Amino acid sequence: MSGAPVTLEGWYVLHEMYAVDWARWTALPAAEQAAVVLEATTLLETQARPPEGHSGCWSLLSQKGDLCLMHWRRDLEALRREQTALARTRLRGFLVPTYSYLSVVELGTYELAGQATAMLERKGVRPGDAGFDDALRTEMERLARPRLFPDIPPRRYACFYPMSKRRGETVNWFDLPAEERGALMKGHGMIGRKYAGQVIQVISGSVGFDDWEWGVTLFADDPLVFKKLVYEMRFDPASSRYALFGPFYVGIRFAPSALGEVLRSGVPAT
């Protein structure tokens, strides 16, 4: 039987998608709209500068929603406080939830373990030595920290989608030997490296937290990169044989101060 891979975890992540009740919003007198926007903007600006973590706002495209709010925090309690803070604003009364996703930034150790082992061996610490396992985890955490607790990338566009691995009777990712899973993910990662500098990918694990197994958030200044990257990965065996995909959400980043403009035209200023 294949063992579960070791994973490292960082920020807890909450994606919240809302549709604006445009009929009620546009019927509100301009002065009241301004007061609602000021209150919500003040909150979003506070959320964007937490003691620990990050938050961001996106204007969504398609009928799946109008706004995406994303929070990265140290614990679930902090995420819940941000969720409740929005619920207490007047703006929340004009928003209809369309989707949400709870996960935690996750880093698989398929390749990381090899990198950490090589660094320990250069220091004279080898597998089988007393204390090697503790040293390996410490070294992996040191290498992984920037990827587990990153800033939200300052790119104009974001794409989010949940996904799972197949576990049917004939094709089951979780029955594969660890070595085979590792080889497949290494090949998958090689495709991602081709897009270095064009797109930043953040993987968050959601087993036990939400309906899918992982959430993928991509950040780029050219939205076509999302299509090209995902399309190419679809032909990779890790996806073509084993992956299942949920809904895709694409949004345009905006600063909290641009909320009023987004609620007028849908598009933040460049």
As a whole number, mean pLDDT of residues 120-128 equals 87
Question: Please, are residues 114 and 25 in contact by the beta-carbon 8 Å criterion?
Answer: no
Sequence ranges of the domains in the chain: 11-104+255-265
Q: Which tokens is 29 given?
A: 């007198």
Q: What percent of the chain has pLDDT over 70?
A: 95
Which DSSP letter does residue 153 get? P
Question: Please, are residues 158 and 59 in contact by the beta-carbon 8 Å criterion?
Answer: no
How confident is the model at residue 68, as a pLDDT? 98
Fold of 11-104+255-265: Alpha-Beta Plaits (3.30.70)
As a whole number, mean pLDDT of residues 202-229 equals 96
How confident is the model at residue 125, as a pLDDT? 87
12 catalytically annotated: no
Question: In terms of pLDDT, which residue wins out, 144 or 73?
Answer: 73
Kindly name the residue from 18, 161, 242, 249 that is annotated as catalytic. 161
Q: Which tokens is 115 given?
A: 């990198």
How confident is the model at residue 1, as a pLDDT? 40
Q: Where are the alpha helices (DSSP H) in the chain?
A: 22-27, 30-47, 76-87, 112-122, 132-148, 178-193, 224-234, 237-240, 259-265
Angle between helices 132-148 and 112-122 (to 10 degrees): 120
- The yes-or-no verdict on residue 3 having pLDDT over 80 is no
As a whole number, mean pLDDT of residues 42-65 equals 97
As a whole number, mean pLDDT of residues 31-36 equals 98
As a whole number, mean pLDDT of residues 223-237 equals 89
What pLDDT digit, counting tens, does each position of 142-194 carry?
Answer: 888 888 999 999 999 999 999 988 887 788 777 777 777 777 766 667 777 78
Question: In terms of pLDDT, which residue wins out, 146 or 48?
Answer: 48
- 141-144 contacts: CB < 8 A, separation 24 or more? 141/8, 143/112, 143/115, 143/116, 143/119, 144/8, 144/10, 144/107, 144/112
